[in-house]
Every structure is written in C-alpha cells, then in structure tokens.
C-alpha cells in the first residue's frame, strides 16, 4: 500500500508520539515566560566587510543564544511546525534537546529524517514552511521560533566538535539501486535507501557532488565544505558516488539495468537556463546565471591559472528576482562591480527570492530597479554589450500565477550602461534523459510525469523527484521528493 504525503505525515507523527519521547529539561520554564522571550537575531558579518570577502554572511548562533531561542518553543501538543516541514523533522524534539544542552541528540534527531540538516538550516525558506506554521506565527501573531537557525546550530555543533554521528542502517540486502543526479533530491533518496539496506550508487554528470548546492549557491551563503561534510556522512552509510557520468551519454538506464540495477531514481534537476529572446541577447558579455555561478563556484573562474574565466564587470545588470538572481548580483558585487543592479519586471512584493536574501542584498548596496524590463541590448564595440534599453512597467490584473501582471508603460524606455548582463529568468528541466527514453511521459513544460503517491514515472521501477518533476523549486521540496520516492522504491522492490 502506498501512502500519500499527508498520510505519510500522519503515520510519522503517530509513530513519534507513540514513542513518547521526552527530554529531561533542567530548568523548566512556565509557558507564559517562554512567550515573553524575543526571537534572537542571527549574528552576521558587517555588510561593508562582507562585500570584500566570500565568507558566510551569517555566522551562526552561539550555544547560549541557541539555548535561549530553544526556550521559546512551547513543545505544542499539536506541533503544527512539523506539518510545514516537507521532510517531517520532529521539530519540538530536536529543539528540546537543544534546550537541555544535549546538542548531539538534537543533531541525531534531525538526521532521522533529514540527510542535509546543515544545508537546510542555511538555505531553506523556513519563513514559508515550518516557521510559517509555528504556533507563534499562527496563533500568537509573534515572530516564530527560529527553527532554521536552531537546525543549523545543532548540525554545526556536531561538525565543529568532530562528533559526527552516522545514522543506523539496516542489514545490507545487496539489491542495487541507481540514483541519477547528486542534488538534494538524489542525496535524500540515497540516504533513505541506504538506511533501508539497499546498495545505492549515485551517478553525477559533473565533477563535483551536490548539484545546485555546489554549482549554484555561493560560498557566502553555503560553504562547499558544509555540503561535503554532509555528503561524507552518506558515504559512511555506504552510498557510492560516481562523478563525470552523464546518464544518457556515458551509459544509459538500459545498460545500468543490465549491470543489475533493479530500480532508479531520476533527480537530474532543472539546469537548462531560459532566455528572453530579445534583440542583442547573443552579444558578448550576456550569459545565464547558471553559467555565471557555475564558472565562479565550481570552475575557478576568478582564480589565476584557470581557462574558464568570467569578465568581472563594472556595471553588472542581473535580470530577474529569484534566489538565483540575488546570488548572481551579490557575487558580482564581491567580484568588484561598481554598480551591481537587479532589473525586475514586477514589484518588490512579488519577488520570489527569500526575504532574507533581498534584505542582505540591499544592505550590500545592490541597486533594485523594480518594475523595469530589458527590451534590447546594444553594442558600441567588438560585439560586446555596452548598453541596454529598459522599459518601465506597471502592475495590471493578476495572471495565472496569482501575481499582478507587469504591463509595459508606453514611451517609458531609457538606456542603462552595462558591460555584463546575467540573465536569471527561470530554468527548464534537462531534456537529455526524457529524450533518450521516449516512453517516459513528460508534461508540456518538459518536467517528468509521476504518480503523486509514489513518484513512480510512466516506466515501472523508474522514479523521479525534485526540479526534474517540479521545475525550479526548493532544496527541501526536492529532499521531500527524494524521501517519498525512496519509500516508493522500497515498496516496489519488496513486491517484486
Ligand atoms: P539539482 O540540485 O539541480 O541537482 C541535479 C543534479 O543532477 C546536478 O548535479 C546535475 O549535474 C545532475 N544531472 C543532470 N542530468 C544528469 C544526467 N543525465 N546524468 C547524471 N547526472 C545528471 N532553494 C532553496 O530552497 N533555497 C535557496 O536559497 C535556493 N537558492 C538557489 C540558488 C541558486 C543559484 C539556484 C540555481 C537554485 C536555488 N534554489 C534554492 C533551488 C534549489 O537549489 C533547487 O530547487 C534544488 O537544488 C533542486 O534539487 P534537485 O536535486 O532536483 O536538482
Ligand atoms: Fe515549538 Fe512552534 Fe513547533 Fe509549537 S509550533 S512545537 S512552538 S516550533
């Protein structure tokens, strides 16, 4: 029997409640005193300093701060925060371990359901997930418990004190499962499958493991060493990684089946950039955010001796308003841009980037040109972009996404000088695997069709999740899919 996500959540919650976990708190505060504690602000680097380095902006809570923040949690009878978490972390349990200063138990609790807590504590949009459904937000109309900051604290504590725990795995059953893609979806699937005793191999096209966590999100938000540490735990659980292996080119799923792989999880993401198809978009100095960030983060573009450099840019224009746009513009600023600007066609309220990232970008002196859209790129010399024509916009009626549609203002066009344009207007799924397997059903957006209960594709034994199914989404939704598909694969293999 397959469980839907909400049934899965209910089962999980019931199981956890049945186990009657209780944390022995040394000082038990009254609820009325807990709600009086103000949410603690995450310490961070001064904006004037951080734009000159690539170190993490947020420096993490101290142990004392974490314990104080943990005291705010009311350990609700009905912990609505868990319902907001796509990987079902037992949030009050890990927080109460922090309050009791048992930081290692807190980290172990996180790892029961989350293969990448140090990553999620840094990049998950908690404000629209667990923190949104927290009792404080919903009922008290106060700032929620800082669940993400506490998650990061517990995961970092384990690493910094070198007491990293490896989740228990069941006895190996020697059944081979292939995971395609090593982004958060693939890593979460691999972790759960390894825990269930499967022999898991992850095939990754690039020379680094981690997907967008490595090639997209910059070091100042998510250091690569943090991602590597969490991947290392998966290795210790027996997950085997093969790099530089493009499924569909190096070898295909049929070949892998012949090598004994009994089930597959496709987590190949949505790495195909979209462009706007406006005049001049092929000029030198205009590139996609994916290319720009991959060159900087993964290909040593800013270091001497590498043969894939990027032009650092003096007047850098980033088109778009999502997390990728914020990461690109803040990277450009750190690479020395005098003017680093966002050009976004809607208003600040509609910007899809995390509020924290927008706030940090503003603190760092990024220029926000909102309700504006490029309509043409121009070159004065050598086929290199030197200016762009911008049209001002106003908001009209809501479109199919529910957001008010940007409408061009006639006669409002003007020119901006720019020598580097980074286009970040969305991504599409990588078509390689679907093209190579025409029996795989795809939607009109090129995403893979799956059964929602199990995430099995139109081909028996092949499952999929993350951005290849959702289009560009989030780390935690990709991980939730990885976990759900792992449960689907387990059921499928047990019934073979
Ligand atoms: P990916 O992370 O894209 O991983 C897919 C992997 O599959 C890649 O490593 C790719 O090389 C590999 N692959 C592809 N095809 C093949 C093949 N044929 N054979 C073998 N391997 C293959 N989300 C957040 O929650 N918070 C954020 O702050 C945030 N910031 C972001 C910033 C940027 C710059 C970007 C680009 C995205 C950001 N996101 C953020 C979105 C989030 O990173 C993605 O939703 C998430 O990584 C999707 O995970 P995935 O595992 O489905 O795919
Ligand atoms: Fe704690 Fe908020 Fe969850 Fe209640 S809803 S258990 S207060 S984190």
Among 160, 188, 208, which residue terminates a domain?
160
Please write the tens of the pLDDT for every residue from 310-344: 888 999 999 999 999 999 999 999 999 999 999 99
pLDDT confidence of 27, banded at 50, 70, 90?
Answer: low
Asked if the model's pLDDT at residue 353 lies above 70, the reply is yes
Shared domain for 220 and 325, answered yes or no, is no
| Whether the predicted pLDDT of 15 surpasses 60 | no
Do residues 464 and 485 make contact, with C-beta atoms less than 8 angstroms apart? yes
Average pLDDT over residues 158-175: 94
**4 pLDDT band (50/70/90 cuts)?**
very low
135 lines ligand 2 (CB under 6 A): yes
Does the residue 252 lie in any domain?
Answer: yes
Q: Which of 24-38, 106-120, 394-408 has the highest mean pLDDT?
A: 106-120
Q: What is the chain's Cα-based Rg?
A: 23
Residues 282 and 263 in one domain: no
| Å from CA of 270 to ligand 1 middle | 7
How far is ligand 1, taken at its centre, from the CA of residue 482, in Å? 13
Show which of 426, 450, 475 is a domain's final residue.
426
Q: Are residues 156 and 12 in the same domain?
A: yes
Pocket test for ligand 2, best of 91, 93, 141 (most atoms within 8 A of CB): 91
Ligand in nearest proximity to the CA of 72:
2
Q: Residue 74: nearest ligand to its CA?
A: 2
Q: Are residues 315 and 422 in the same domain?
A: yes
How far, in Å, is the centroid of ligand 2 from the Cα of 135?
6
User: How far is the C-alpha of 245 from the C-alpha of 182, rounded, in Å?
Assistant: 11
pLDDT digits (tens, 9 = 90+) for 205-218: 999 999 999 999 99
Question: What is the distance in A from the centroid of ligand 1 to the CA of 187?
Answer: 11
- Residue 165 lies inside a defined structural domain of this protein: no
What band does 301 get if pLDDT is binned at 50, 70 and 90? confident
Domain around 16 = 5-160
Are 418 and 433 in a shared domain?
A: no
CA–centroid distance, residue 101 to ligand 1 (Å): 34
Alpha carbon of 259 to ligand 1 centroid (Å): 27
Q: Is 134 in the pocket of ligand 2 (CB under 6 A)?
A: yes
pLDDT in tens, 432-484: 999 999 999 999 999 999 999 999 999 999 999 999 999 989 999 999 999 99
Q: Is the pLDDT of residue 20 over 60?
A: no
Same domain, 323 and 370: yes
pLDDT at 13 over 90: no
Shared-domain flag, residues 297 and 412: yes
User: 194 in ligand 2 pocket by Cβ < 6 Å?
Assistant: no
Mutation to probe ligand 2, out of 135, 139, 140 (largest number of atoms < 8 A from CB): 135
Q: How many angstroms does the Cα of residue 164 sit away from the middle of ligand 2?
A: 26
The total number of structural domains in the chain stands at: 3
User: From the alpha carbon of 82, which atom of ligand 2 is closest?
Assistant: 3
Q: State the average pLDDT over residues 162-185.
A: 95
Does the pLDDT value for residue 120 go beyond 70?
yes
- CATH number for the domain that contains residue 116: 1.10.1060.10
Residue 77 CA, ligand 2 centroid: distance in Å: 9
Residue 92 lies in a domain: yes
Residues 291, 342, single domain; the answer is yes
Neighbours of 330 (CB within 10 A): 23
- Residues in the ligand 1 pocket, defined by CB under 6 Å: 123-125, 180-186, 203-206, 211-212, 216-217, 246-248, 267-269, 271, 293, 323-324, 327, 354, 430, 432-433, 466-468, 472-476, 478
Nearest CA to 461 among 432, 431, 490?
Answer: 490
Q: pLDDT value at position 26? A: 57
CA of 146 to the centre of ligand 2 (A): 10
Domain annotation covers residue 167:
no
Sort strands 420-423 and 286-288 into parallel, antiparallel or unpaired. Answer: parallel
Which ligand 2 atom lies nearest to the CA of residue 135? 5
Residue 369 sits in the same domain as residue 352: yes
The ligand whose atoms approach the alpha carbon of 181 most closely is: 1
What's the whole-number average pLDDT of the chain?
Answer: 93
Residues 128-152 have pLDDT tens digits of 999 999 999 999 999 999 999 999 9
* 253 contact partners, CB below 8 Å, separation of at least 6: 178, 247, 264, 433, 436, 437, 462
Of 160, 188, 203, the position where a domain reaches its end is: 160
Residues 471 and 407 in one domain: no
- The two beta strands, 272-273 and 427-428, are antiparallel
pLDDT tens by residue, 393-426? 999 998 887 888 999 999 999 999 999 999 999 9
Q: Is residue 24, in this structure, part of any structural domain at all?
A: yes
Euclidean distance between CA atoms 379 and 418, whole angstroms: 10
pLDDT at 1: 35
Cα 241 to ligand 1 centre (Å): 17
Q: Which ligand is nearest to the CA of 476?
A: 1
From 281, 310, 323, select the one nearest 423 (Cα to Cα): 281
Closest by alpha carbon to 236, among 173, 176, 194? 194
pLDDT higher than threshold 80 for residue 35: yes
Q: How far is ligand 2, taken at its centre, from the CA of residue 200, in Å?
A: 35
Q: Which atom of ligand 2 is nearest to the CA of 92?
A: 6
Task: Give the sheet arrangement for strand 462-464, strand by strand.
Answer: 240-242, 199-203, 176-180, 261-266, 462-464
Q: pLDDT at position 8, please?
A: 46
Identify whether residues 467 and 357 lie together within a single domain: no
At 28 the pLDDT is 76
Q: Which residue has its alpha carbon closest to ligand 2 atom 5?
A: 134
Q: Is the minimum distance from the CB of 75 to ligand 2 under 6 angstroms?
A: yes
> Nearest C-alpha to atom 4 of ligand 2 is from which residue?
76
Provide the pLDDT for residue 404.
87
CATH number at residue 461: 3.50.50.60
Residue 361 dihedral angles phi and psi, to the nearest 5°: -60, -40
Q: Which numbered atom of ligand 1 lies nearest the CA of 246? A: 19
Residues 301 and 341 in one domain: yes
In a domain? residue 168: no
80 lines ligand 2 (CB under 6 A): yes
Q: Is residue 169 part of a domain?
A: no
**Residue 170 located in a structural domain:** no
Residue 80 Cα, ligand 2 centroid: separation in angstroms? 7
User: Looking at ligand 2, which residue's alpha carbon is closest to its atom 1?
Assistant: 73
């Amino acid at each position: 029997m397959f469980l839907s996500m909400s049934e899965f959540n209910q089962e999980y919650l019931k199981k956890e409640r049945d186990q009657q976990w209780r944390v022995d708190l040394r000082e038990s505060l009254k609820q009325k005193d807990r709600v009086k504690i103000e949410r603690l602000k995450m310490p961070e680097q001064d904006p004037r300093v951080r734009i000159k380095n690539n170190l993490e902006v947020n420096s993490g809570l101290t142990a004392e701060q974490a314990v104080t923040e943990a005291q705010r949690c009311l350990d609700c009878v009905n912990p609505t925060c868990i319902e907001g978490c796509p990987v079902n972390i037992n949030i009050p349990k890990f927080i109460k371990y922090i309050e009791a200063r048992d930081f290692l138990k807190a980290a172990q609790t996180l790892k029961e359901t989350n293969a990448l807590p140090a990553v999620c504590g840094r990049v998950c949009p908690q404000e629209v997930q667990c923190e949104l459904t927290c009792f404080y937000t919903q009922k008290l109309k106060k700032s929620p418990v800082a669940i993400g900051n506490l998650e990061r604290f517990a995961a970092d504590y384990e690493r910094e004190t070198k007491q990293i725990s490896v989740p228990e795995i069941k006895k190996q059953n020697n059944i081979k499962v292939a995971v395609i893609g090593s982004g958060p979806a693939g890593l979460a699937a691999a972790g759960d499958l390894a825990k269930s005793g499967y022999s898991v191999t992850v095939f990754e096209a690039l020379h680094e493991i981690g997907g967008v966590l490595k090639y997209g999100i910059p070091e100042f938000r998510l250091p690569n060493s943090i991602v590597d540490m969490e991947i290392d735990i998966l290795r210790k659980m027996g997950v085997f990684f093969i790099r530089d292996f493009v499924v569909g080119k190096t070898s295909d799923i049929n070949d892998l089946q012949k090598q004994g792989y009994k089930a597959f999880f496709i987590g190949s993401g949505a790495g195909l950039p979209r462009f706007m198809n406006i005049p001049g978009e092929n000029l030198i100095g205009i590139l996609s955010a994916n290319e720009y960030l991959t060159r900087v983060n993964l290909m040593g573009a800013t270091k001497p001796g590498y043969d894939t450099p990027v032009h650092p840019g003096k007047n850098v224009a980033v088109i778009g308003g999502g997390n990728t746009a914020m990461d690109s513009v803040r990277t450009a600023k750190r690479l020395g841009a005098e003017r680093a600007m966002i050009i976004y066609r809607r208003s600040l309220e509609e910007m899809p980037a995390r509020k924290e990232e927008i706030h940090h970008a503003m603190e760092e002196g990024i220029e926000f040109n909102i309700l504006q859209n490029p309509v043409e790129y121009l070159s004065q010399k050598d086929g290199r972009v030197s200016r762009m024509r911008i049209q001002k916009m106003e908001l009209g009626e809501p479109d199919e996404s529910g957001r008010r549609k940007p409408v061009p203002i006639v006669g409002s066009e003007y020119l901006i000088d720019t020598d580097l344009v980074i286009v970040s207007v969305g991504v599409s799924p990588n078509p390689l695997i679907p093209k190579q397997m025409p029996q795989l059903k795809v939607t009109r957006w090129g995403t893979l069709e799956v059964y929602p209960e199990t995430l099995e594709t139109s081909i028996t034994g092949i499952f999929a999740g993350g951005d290849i199914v959702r289009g560009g989404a989030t780390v935690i939704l990709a991980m939730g899919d990885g976990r759900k598909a792992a449960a689907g694969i387990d059921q499928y293999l047990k019934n073979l």
